Chain A
Amino acid sequence: MKVDKETVKGIAELANFRVEKKDEEDLIIGMQKILEMASALNEAETNGVAPMANPHDARQILRDDVCRDVEQRDSFLALSPLAANGFFLVPKVVE
């Protein structure tokens, strides 16, 4: 599994990272090392094995449809680097 510049660019786009020229090589190596660790998976014999997403065979428990008031709006908004009039703000998005 070889990671190239194009792959890093595409993946960084999905993950929303900015790749400066100087960091490109580091990212390639970083990704490469992890994927090399992972590549040994190829050798595992997994025909007909159901994927396992969670260690237990438990089932989801369901919550009753009851509301709890949000009493912390102001403290939540205060966590935001930029908020005004009750809104979180981001640079103007053109739809």
Chain B
Amino acid sequence: MINSQWETVIGLEIHVQLSTKSKIFSDASTVFGGEPNEQANEIDLGLPGTLPTVNAEIFPKAIAFGLCIGAEIATTSHFDRKNYFYPDLPKGYQITQMDEPIVKNGCLDIELNNGETRTVRINRAHLEEDAGKSLHDAFPDMTGVDLNRAGIPLLEIVSEPDMRTAEEAVKYAKSIHQLVTYLSISDGNMAEGSFRCDANVSVRKEGERELGTRTEIKNINSFKFLKYAINHEVKRQISLIQSGEKVTQETRLYDSTKNETRSMRSKETATDYRYFPEPDLLPISLDQNHIDQIKKTLPELPLEKMKRYAKEHGLEERDAKFLSNDLELAKFYESCYELNPDSKQIVNWLKGEMFNRLSNVEITIKDSPVSPNQLCDLIRRTSDGTVSITTAKKIFGKLWEGQSFSVDKVIKEEDLAQLSDGSQLDDLIDEAFQNNPKQIEQIKKGKTKILGYFVGLIMKQTAGKANPKQLNDLIVKKINSLK
């Protein structure tokens, strides 16, 4: 799609909301969805005389992230003020970390489509406060300012410009997302703004060493949009250059309804942020022991988990990967595995029925109406032959719809157990043979394929409850005896 003589260079700044109860510099709540300004206290509003305090909870979270990307953790760091005016920035400065970020020089490997691995260098990750929200459509001629988000703790993860395609950028962003949710340092909820990307994009002729002029696309809140926004921006830049114009360094906004980026007029003027150390806060000291302690308690990461599933649970690598990719799915799987270590069956259910239903209604496994307990009961009843796979899927549907909570109760109440009583099946087969002499004649002539006709017939008669394997065996036996 993109002219092959051009190379795209992409760096991402990802803002991850750290899951804390209170804000980074105040004790107001971070819960999503409050009435406007209901969660903005005097500190968040920047009222005169107010001062920030520092939430202890942000450090173990930032440290865990830093350790997982093999970064240096700064045992001393400090906060700075970044000065600019904007209605959603109450104090006229943002408290952030400029020259002493808590995390420095890490990297993350991403797997490319061709199977190769690319290392994306992560230059830094620093702690800062989020701004509020401006609502431009709620009032005629006015912009409404809601400061509930002001002071939400963020970890801003800044990559080097190490990505070359939109797909790579998305891969990288997804890997970061996976990592932060795995570490439970963020809920990663993109719709609620807990995970947002700014993409720095430039293009250059293949083989050139100098970077082209870059633009920064702000606040992209879905992986799909990230891809669209970058691809659109690359096309725009190339066509600008091809028509003899220049790319201007600027901040752009991705408009998902029009699938285009446009210049953000409000932040047009190049600003001098006048960073200086925040005098209302003191330098932060982190104890190396504390960092080592966090290192010891880091959770198992996707790759390790994948290997363990393959090795210890005997899963195929593909399936192990499917499970370990998503922490919640892995957790669900492991709950099932504890109840019933039939890993193959569990993964089949999760990949099949569960996955389909989840994607139909766009919910995550965390909110699945079917519990690990129920799924394991269901698996148990298929393995012991009580129900067929087809019936089991029906039961799964009932559990999903909330029509029942117990697998065994559904089987009993709706009389779904398979007919495994040989004599009863014998009778049914005899009856079917008698009623269908023509087919019997054909069988005798050697057309054994007609066998399936009888299986279907009896399945229909028993409303699918006949144990298919047993039925099959009995029919074969009877036919053989006819010969």
Contact = CB atoms under 8 A, between A and B. Distances in A.
B37 interface: yes
B144 A85 contact: yes
B269 A60 contact: no
A85 B135 CA distance: 12
Interface stretch (A20-28, A31-39, A40-48, A61-69): A61-69
A86 B146 contact: yes
Contacts, number: 130
B206 interface: no
A62 B265 CA distance: 39
- 4 residue pairs, one from A and one from B, having the closest CB atoms: A87-B144, A62-B56, A86-B36, A65-B57
A89 to B, nearest CB: 5
Interface in A38-92: 53-54, 56, 58-70, 72-73, 76-77, 79, 84-92
A93 interface: yes
Nearest to B83: A14
B226 to A, nearest CB: 19
Contact of A65 (B20, B83, B135): B20
A95 interface: yes
Q: Is the interface of A mostly helix, strand, loop or mixed?
A: loop
Interface of A: 13-14, 16, 53-54, 56, 58-70, 72-73, 76-77, 79, 84-95
Given A87-B139, A94-B265, A77 B37 contact: yes
Contact of B36 (A60, A64, A87, A90): A87
Nearest to A52: B277
Contacts of A90: 87, 142-143, 145
B438 to A, nearest CB: 78
Interface residues of B, number: 54
A56 B282 CA distance: 9
Contacts of B36: 85-87
Interface string B193-233: 00000000000000000000000000000000000000000
Contact of A66 (B27, B40, B141): B27
Given A54-B279, A87-B139, A88-B144, 13 more contacts: A14-B274, A54-B282, A54-B283, A63-B55, A67-B22, A68-B22, A68-B28, A76-B47, A86-B36, A86-B37, A87-B36, A88-B147, A92-B142
B264 to A, nearest CB: 6
Interface string B135-161: 110110111111100000000000000
B138 to A, nearest CB: 7
B45 interface: yes
A93 B143 contact: yes
Contacts of A61: 54, 282
Contacts of B139: 84, 87, 89
Nearest to A13: B269
B378 to A, nearest CB: 40
Contacts of B39: 70
A91 B45 contact: no
Interface in B46-90: 47, 53-57, 59, 78, 83, 85, 87
Contacts of B279: 53-54
